[in-house]
Structure 1
Amino acid sequence: MRASRLVSILLLLQTRGRVTAREIADTLEVSIRTVYRDMESLSAAGVPLYADPGHRGGYELLDGFRTRLTGLTTGEAESLFLTGLPTAAADLGLGSVVTAAQLKLMAALPPELRDRAGRIAECFHLDAPSWYGAEDHTPHLAEVADAVWNRRRTRIRYLRWAEPHENTRVVDPYGVVLKAGAWYLVAGHAEAEGVGDRARIRTYRVSRILDAQSLAETFERPAGFALATYWEDYLDRFDDRRLRASATVRVSPVGMRRLVEALEPVLVRAAHASATRPDVDGRVEVVLPIESVDSAITTLLPFGGEVEVLGPPELRAGMRAAAVALARVYGCADTDADRYG
């Protein structure tokens, strides 16, 4: 990954100006000795570096080197963060732009580093969608992404789950997020006052956008808004809204191992946090957040006798009914169904 690190150092110097070896090492999470070696390699490759020793010293590029380094256009420079995500770049309509940026970066590298970068690209590939998830159809993603890049207010027609299903609104597109193969738009409500407030920011699944039209009016992001931070908060709040109930279950040691393998992380964390001391059989009681009784039955039934629902009563009754139905399907005597009480 040394070629990538060298490019990162150049971009760091271009964006920050004078930077100390310690600052470079901390940013890239490498040792200072590694930074010294990298700076020697860049200098040997013809990069015009200026090193000022002393307490207030550091490294900087000579004036004018930025243009001579890559010759990147504005679009190519903006697409650099997608150079390792070819599928995502193509979805956003930036496939050719990213390719051009990669070629210019590769051309700027000395032959040895260029060969290593090429080998890395041949050895690693990112496939974001999950194994069994259906691929999202996002015909309006390119229009949405263009509105994000250019900060243009956008009118979208959106298919909601709730009534009325079709809804048209004007939004300020702050950013797009790729989550497990699905694209999401994070946007503010342009027609509402307090657009910068968290309550005025909404998340839309791009595959459910029926139409998107960029308007002539532009917008400014709210002060302090950070897309990554918003998304993390959104996921936490999403789980809080979705998992509003809880179930108490008794789990065997085998069941606990299977829970870790099969359940989503938020449920696994809750199970570990709430687990009681093991009883004589090694079973523990845990409290799991659930979305509904029906969804909990679907989630817990595959664990069979390794998991016993203690409450709430309606969930225990639902598990019992499902177990009785299974017993009858597989030819158990009717009297055997009493065991599932």
Structure 2
Amino acid sequence: MSKAQRLLDILMFVSAKKKFTAQEIADEFKISIRTVHRYMLDLSDMGLPIYAEQGRNGGYTVLSSRMIPPILFTEEEAVSIFFAFQAFNYYRDLPFETEIHSVSHKLYSSLQKEAQQKVDKLQSYVAFWSPKRSIETPLLKDVLKAAIDNKHIRFQYASKKGTTIKYVHPFGVYAQDGLWYMPAFDLTKEKILLFRVDRIHAITEFENNSKEFLNLQQWFSNTYEINHPIRLHVQLTSEGVRQCKSVLSFEGLVITKEDGSGYIDSLIDEGELHFISSLFYRLGVHAKILEPQALIEKLRQHANDILTMYPQM
């Protein structure tokens, strides 16, 4: 048996066992104690976090989570994975930042010199661009873990109305334009709201939950129930069509005509008006709201507020 195959077999054995002695390895693989110690050094150099404890009752402990067996990638596959990680370069915080950088480094180091040169050159010509943000999102991991663990959270949230206390069940997190967002069911208002994760200043409580809520993918696919339906009817110019199709929540709602213009005519939840009003205000003359009247009033109020700031001389 080759050394590489023997190391692989030992790697799988110790990853499953977690805590073991050199004698156990020697007995299992019919090798000497000295060879075991040498193999442990080799595995440590390969990145397996092993802690060795000296003494009569000593042994080895694998410190981190279970290792997976080596996977053989073609050069093109390895390069594609490396570049997939580059999409996160513009984000100030990531849920698993250390792990992503570690995997990226291992992939790059495993490439042949010619492939490394190819990666270096491609980085000058290919980028997954998002606005470079300096805003910190320190509670990103905590929010994501609460969603995965099916927990409610109570937190301090900074908005234009000041800092308020929110009590929600998070569906997950997603990244857009360099920022992280958390759709969640507001347990106080009993409706789905969208929160900027960087505006969560402190989580004051995690609460166990036994009920079943949406996950992020279900929310994306619009399979959730609309509790307070209202009709959204908007006429769009060709530029309005283009911009609305670039917004995740509107992409599937836009109907395009032969001349490039289009419209939206769909039911949405009344609670979404606050979030979509800023989009349609930004679109200006490229989007004419026909319904609902409440959205029209929000746009009129916004326009009046701007005019008040700039009175005629």
Scaled by the length of structure 2, what TM-score is found? 0.45
